[in-house]
Amino acid sequence: MSLFDWFANRPKSDPMNIQGQEREIADGLWTKCTACGVLTYTKDLRANQMVCLECGDHSRVFSEERIQQLIDPETWQALDADLMPTDPLKFRDRKSYSDRLRETQEKTGLKDAVQTGLGQLDGLTVALGVMDFQFMGGSMGSVVGEKLTRLIERATDESVPVIIVCASGGARMQEGMLSLMQMAKISGALERHREARLLYIPILTHPTTGGVTASFAMLGDIILAEPKATIGFAGRRVVEQTLREKLPDNFQTAEYLLQHGFVDAIVPRTQLKKTLAQLIRLHQPQATPHSLVHLPNPLPLSTTLIH
């Protein structure tokens, strides 16, 4: 046997194999980072909001966990939780839309692709909508549009800021034009919210695409994004074929959009709640000039700047 054959045929070492005995890892006990490959104790990863402790990669989280990360304990008040989708077009592809809805609802425990409600964020009352990618790719159907519109209208009536965590593949094709109508409906509600001089902050997570990007995801007063999130309207291949040119490797990433002015800030998930609280406090109504005239010694302007 040649030296080459010996190396080719020798048993390959396995870091999880000690003295010929394979070690079994309890299912769900460890999580392997898809970016750097490091194994992390799942409990520690969840404590760090599903952000890799080694490389900072942001794993996907769903609506229930997002709410827990952003809303103070025991302050969440869900809105329109029983609103259910229907099948007005009797749509069918490989299976009927009604069957697909039922299966997804049983699998996820959700009624549709968004959860909405009121709650306290670091002691501040906010109206929060969280899209859930595990429900048909976070696609925007009639229920998603109706729940977000009602949330925004409730926030306008109660003069509270709106935060929407976006995670979506876009409009839901099974509802056709009814899905596309939600873009205008939500945008109209946001315009009335803006006219009331109230704050709206969308948070763009991986992925935010299609009709969601083309409507409420890009209408924020301050637009935040998570690191390396995919954000865009049409897919890369469609854009390249339309423009007939090669796009940069980082095209449609949060970093690319920040560089080109479409996003105001990229905020790591572990800093998101703190950042949102700071932004909301900065945009709360300030004291009126009438109340300031009674101050005996007004401070110089330079001392009132916020660092």
For the stretch 31-56, pLDDT in tens is 999 999 999 999 999 999 999 999 99
Residue 301 lies in a domain: no
Mean pLDDT confidence for 111-122: 98
Write the CATH number for 95: 3.90.226.10
**Is residue 113 pLDDT above 70, yes or no?**
yes
Mean pLDDT confidence for 60-70: 96
Residue 121 lies in a domain: yes
Residue 47 lies in a domain: no
For 286, 287, 296, 300, the CA distances from 305, given in Å and listed in that order, are 14, 15, 20, 10
Residue 3: which pLDDT band, with cuts at 50, 70 and 90? very low
State yes or no: cis peptide before 227, omega within 30 of 0. Answer: no
Residue 129 lies in a domain: yes
Half-sphere exposure at residue 68, Cβ-oriented, CA atoms within 13 angstroms: 10
Amino acid 45: pLDDT: 93
Mean pLDDT confidence for 235-258: 93
Mean pLDDT confidence for 90-103: 95
Name residues whose C-beta falls within 8 Å of residue 189's C-beta, 6 or more positions apart in sequence. Answer: 148, 149, 152, 153, 156
**Is residue 16 pLDDT above 50, yes or no?**
no
pLDDT tens-digit readout, 158-175? 999 999 999 999 999 999
Residue 291 lies in a domain: no
DSSP state letter for 253: B
pLDDT tens-digit readout, 180-216? 999 999 999 999 999 999 999 999 999 999 999 999 9
Phi-psi region of 244 (alpha: psi -120 to 50; beta: other; left: phi over 0): left
